[in-house]
Structure 1
Amino acid sequence: MSETITGTVIHVVPPEELDDHDLNPALADRASGNYVVVCRRGGSPSLLQRVWGFLRGGSIDAVTVVTPDEYAEGEPIDVAASPLGVEGVYDATDG
């Protein structure tokens, strides 16, 4: 079941650097030849949202997306992706 992942890219692991990271085996298998993109779901919060989050002690809602497309840190991402079976990890390589 696919869902739309919308957010802001906070980290990218290109295919040639996948071996340099300790990835979950399911993620590593699916990521082979693709980019692993960590993003903040919903995009960048406003200053007021950041202050409110800090005061509440909350954290960001980060998700990881495996995608064939290259992204840069700070860019928006909007993809249709399916859960990979690992909490917070999605696969956007089929669509």
Structure 2
Amino acid sequence: MDDQPSGHETSRRLTLGAGIAIGMGVGVALGVSFDNMGLGIGVGLAIGIAISAAPEFIGRRRRGDDPGAGESDAADPGDPDGAGDEPGAPGDDLRP
């Protein structure tokens, strides 16, 4: 059995580590400016986790892995001109 992590797993671990490191840096800076280190590190960790989670969601949306990405009622497959049911959709002549 191969003990080497896949490229995706390595990327996720790297992103998580970088996000938390950035968050800790921001947290320490905020802690010094707020004169409350606990509050600064708490806010910084929240920022770091958001930074580390963002690429995962952005990548999922771009790849089309989002469960709702393929479900669109803009164009009906039975519609020959590709126009949707919405007024102003492409192919709609806007006549009442």
TM over 0.5: no
Higher-RCO chain (CA-CA 8 Å, sequence separation at least 6): 1
TM range (shorter): under 0.3
Structure 2 length-normalised TM: 0.26
* Larger fraction in helix: 2
Structure 1 length-normalised TM: 0.26
* Larger fraction in strand: 1
